[in-house]
Amino acid sequence: MRWARISIQLPSAAVEPAAALLLEIGCSGTEQPSDLNVVGYLPVDDRLEPALGRLNEALATFPALGLAQVRPQVAVTFVEDDNWEEAWKKHFGPVRVGRRLLVIPPWETPAPGEKRLIVRVNPGMAFGTGTHPSTQLCLAALEDAVRPGDCVVDLGTGSGILAIAAAKLGSGTVVAADIDRLALRVARQNLEDNGLLGKVLLVEADSPAAFTRVDVLVANILAHVIRAMAPSIPAALAPRGTFIGAGIAEGQEPEVIQSLTDAGLRVHRVMHQEAWVALVAFRDA
Ligand SMILES: C[S@@+](CC[C@H](N)C(=O)[O-])C[C@H]1O[C@@H](n2cnc3c(N)ncnc32)[C@H](O)[C@@H]1O
């Protein structure tokens, strides 16, 4: 069978969003040959050209979103191969995050005696594989923030990874919300793989305004989205509730901190990993 190998060169911070785009245009998995390169495959048929058009259109927005300086370059080559569908899996293995979590793809088995809490996520499906610094910062912040029985909302759940982690960390009610129905379908599958279907609520929502009395609200989206949401965050939180915001590229955090402070929240922790920042803020009693 003939496949188009679609290779995108771009800054490391943009690799995961680009991988999500490749999945959106129909690739069933992605490879990351290096920190600056992501690859997907599509069958060579009449759907290829429109799919590449959609990909190029979306990549053209990356500079405006702060994900790249210039429009990322796409190179397409053609391969005859029947085995690539399995080959990409070798790029994903277990990832230890924070002190207590282990993110693993569904085809891996945790080592015997593994003490960490297992978060199973299929990395071929949606943003939120556990490899992106923003996701890792949120996971580490959740480890510290979540208390047994807490009500946790993961706004912008993508693969569901943060909601799954919150449930494993002992939350009471967990809600996984996204504006994207495809993401919600992917999150459902990952919840099922973790035995959490029915325990974590899936909802379509685009704002903290959809929620009240939340103990921990986590949103790994983008700086400008968090800034726009900031005024509605305090009313969504319970007294002394915590907001964790991420998807913030280094340099963008002062403006996000300002918008959270203007909304009446107290930012008490600024976490950095590679070129990414996560903020932890409290609502006072
Ligand atoms: C960067 S991914 C985060 C995925 C996952 N939570 C993680 O931490 O890896 C951002 C997700 O936010 C969703 N999103 C974007 N804007 C949103 C909004 N206003 N409300 C809810 N979800 C939103 C996107 O559809 C996408 O699934």
Q: What class, spelled out in words, does domain 92-282 have in CATH?
A: alpha beta
- Render pLDDT for 12-71 as a digit per residue (tens, 0 to 9): 888 888 988 998 888 877 888 888 899 998 888 888 888 999 999 999 999 998 888 999
Superfamily for domain range 2-89: Reverse transcriptase/Diguanylate cyclase domain (3.30.70.270)
Question: Ligand 1: residues within 6 Å at CB?
Answer: 127-128, 132, 135, 138, 154-158, 161-162, 177-180, 183, 206, 220-221, 225, 247
Residues forming CATH 3.40.50.150 domain(s) in the chain:
92-282
Nearest CA to ligand 1 atom 11: 156
| 69-74: long-range contacts, CB 8 A cutoff, minimum separation 24 | 69/11, 72/8, 72/9, 72/10, 72/14, 72/18, 73/8, 73/9, 73/10, 74/6, 74/7, 74/8
Could you write out the DSSP letters of every residue in 37-83? EEEEEEESSTTHHHHHHHHHHHHTTTTTTTS-SSPPEEEEEEEE-S-
Minimum CA distance residue for ligand 1 atom 22:
156
How far CA 103 is from CA of 18, 163, 249, 282, in Å, comes to 21, 13, 23, 27
pLDDT at position 33 is: 81
In the chain, ranges of CATH 3.30.70.270 domains: 2-89
Atom of ligand 1 nearest to the CA of 134: 8
What average pLDDT does the structure give for the chain? 91
Per-residue pLDDT at 124: 62
Range scoring the smallest mean pLDDT among 27-36, 106-115, 170-179: 27-36
- Return the amino acid letter for 79: V
- Residues 167, 192 contacting (CB under 8 angstroms): no
Residue 122 confidence class, pLDDT cut points 50, 70, 90: confident
Query: Do the beta carbons of residue 256 and residue 229 sit within 8 Å?
Result: no
pLDDT confidence of residue 35: 80
Residues 270, 256: Cα–Cα separation, whole Å = 11
Buried b or exposed e, range 225-240, using 16+ CB within 10 angstroms: bbbebbeebbebbbee
pLDDT of res. 262:
98
